[in-house]
A and B are shown apart, each in its own frame.
Chain A
């Protein structure tokens, strides 16, 4: 039963979704709304579970004094701090001037922006190492990367200002993005689409069972 019931729910929901897409009449036209409500409820529960799991794992790491346990302590402290402040300030906790707003603007905002900014360093380091003219394909990739990088910034057109319009670096970059890049993306998207359809069918028909675990 522990395996059959989830499989049955998956099959019913999956088939209903497919059918409701093609039949715009009651009750199928209401299915979207019902499932959307259920999805919201499940997502809300998942957030609570996720938060509790984070605290449990972090606390375990601190108690066992595992490597870099100090960072786990920071996670627990930050989590408790932001939660307490959020509840303490009530419904208007996000209003300008509140402690929550201060933490968001001056701590969370710059810290998470820093995490994303690190990407610049990795991109530079990876470009330095990966963009090598090893063979014909790699050389093509290198040239395309060069043109897009220089064409996406104003300095590129500054270097080719003597060229007629339509032949400057920005035009070349736009051409690469509009044609070869889009063609590649389309191929990838069609491949992903076909993969999603086949995997979905396997899940709905109960052939693919990885999502319900080992069953033990």
Chain B
């Protein structure tokens, strides 16, 4: 079979899967969920097969890279259908964001810059949804904006979901009064800098084209001094680093952040220096935040997938080292 034909078959298979999932989504099919026993059996099989690979490695047989990819694919995808509960401690960094929001009085104005796009949504969207839920439950006023083009659109998706929840829907929240989406503004960190002087100069209209002064929630907001708390969701540049350097250091904004797992380590220095009230890092940050807010949702569900995939990666690191030690011993014997 030629490589081109293999590629075509792979693309066709993926298309068929996508079509099935799309039809399922549109038709409202019930999601497949393994029982606890079946889930444990699947995890057991996965671990047993990893043990078998370790034995093979000890016998001097090296595995191909494709096998590693296959295991990662299975470890990420299969747990999404499992039903296993996991206890998750809330780290001080996550607790910091939660405590900062809980300290706010009802009616406080919260700015949420959505500085990410769909690729990182699996990690950041659960954070956004939980944060919005807490804000609405506590009657905080929410102002959304983005210096990433797709950020405000991600915010629309999160708002749609949270506003449809029965307890939030019962509050009958009004756009422009209880929450507002100012949309995207180009200019990277200059937008933050200019907002320090005037919000209106950067957002003359909202996401839907309503003039700034016609929005009761923001018409009296001049600059950062009128904002009680800011929660930045970011997956790169411009993001949390720029918000800290300009909004926090220059204008004294109280800031919390939610970052991707890849980005979070770069922000840790700002956390320990007190420039950030707290930090949600990656999927585990989202899951911990859901636990702190006592509202388990997507973040918690996805953590099982992350747990299994981390175990698989650790197993392969051990196998890799075993292979490395074995090859070292062989070369030493040869030498």
Residues of A within 8 A of B (CB): 29, 32-33, 35-36, 39-40, 43-44, 47, 91-92, 94, 96, 104-106, 108-110, 112-113, 115-117, 119-121, 123-125, 127-129, 131-134, 142, 145-146, 149-150, 152-155, 157-158, 168, 170, 174, 177-178, 181-182, 185-186, 189
Residues of B in contact (CB 8 Å), total: 68
**CA–CA, A116 to B22, complex, Å?**
20
Select A154's contact among B86, B312, B316, B319, beta carbons within 8 Å. Answer: B86
Chain A residue with the shortest CB-CB distance to B194: A36
Q: Is the interface of B mostly helix, strand, loop or mixed?
A: helix
Q: Are A124 and B68 in touch, CB under 8 angstroms?
A: yes
Q: Which of B302-322 contact A (CB under 8 A)?
A: 303, 306-307, 309-314, 316-317, 319-321
Q: Which of B51-86 contact A (CB under 8 A)?
A: 65, 68-69, 71-73, 76, 86
User: Assuming A104-B153, A150-B314, is B324 touching A43 (CB within 8 A)?
Assistant: no
User: Assuming A115-B119, A124-B72, is B319 touching A35 (CB within 8 A)?
Assistant: no
Q: Are B307 and A153 in touch, CB under 8 angstroms?
A: yes
B28 within 8 A of A: no
B residues less than 8 Å from A94 (CB atoms): 153, 156, 207
User: Assuming A36-B187, A123-B313, is B198 touching A112 (CB within 8 A)?
Assistant: no
Select A127's contact among B65, B207, B316, beta carbons within 8 Å. Answer: B316
Select B268's contact among A39, A43, A177, beta carbons within 8 Å. Answer: A177
B252 within 8 A of A: no
B92 within 8 A of A: yes
User: Assuming A121-B73, A142-B317, A152-B284, is B186 touching A132 (CB within 8 A)?
Assistant: no
B residues less than 8 Å from A150 (CB atoms): 310-311, 314
Select B303's contact among A105, A129, A142, A153, beta carbons within 8 Å. Answer: A153
Q: Is the interface of A mostly helix, strand, loop or mixed?
A: helix
Q: Are B307 and A155 in touch, CB under 8 angstroms?
A: yes
- Interchain nearest-CB distance for A14 vs B (Å): 15
Q: Are A43 and B153 in touch, CB under 8 angstroms?
A: no
B24 within 8 A of A: no
User: Assuming A128-B317, A150-B314, A170-B91, is B269 touching A182 (CB within 8 A)?
Assistant: yes
**CA–CA, A152 to B316, complex, Å?**
18
Chain A residue with the shortest CB-CB distance to B117: A112
11 chain-A/chain-B pairs, Cβ below 8 angstroms = A96-B160, A124-B71, A127-B313, A127-B316, A128-B319, A132-B324, A142-B317, A153-B310, A178-B272, A181-B265, A185-B268
By Cβ-Cβ distance, the 3 closest A-B pairs, closest first, are: A116-B119, A154-B86, A36-B190
Select B69's contact among A106, A124, A178, beta carbons within 8 Å. Answer: A124
Select A47's contact among B186, B191, B319, beta carbons within 8 Å. Answer: B186
Q: Are B89 and A157 in touch, CB under 8 angstroms?
A: yes
Q: Which of B163-209 contact A (CB under 8 A)?
A: 185-188, 190-191, 193-194, 196-198, 201-202, 207-209
A residues less than 8 Å from B186 (CB atoms): 40, 43-44, 47
**CA–CA, A120 to B316, complex, Å?**
13
- Interchain nearest-CB distance for B197 vs A (Å): 6
**CA–CA, A178 to B281, complex, Å?**
13
**CA–CA, A104 to B151, complex, Å?**
12
Chain A residue with the shortest CB-CB distance to B160: A96
**CA–CA, A125 to B325, complex, Å?**
18
- Interchain nearest-CB distance for B3 vs A (Å): 13
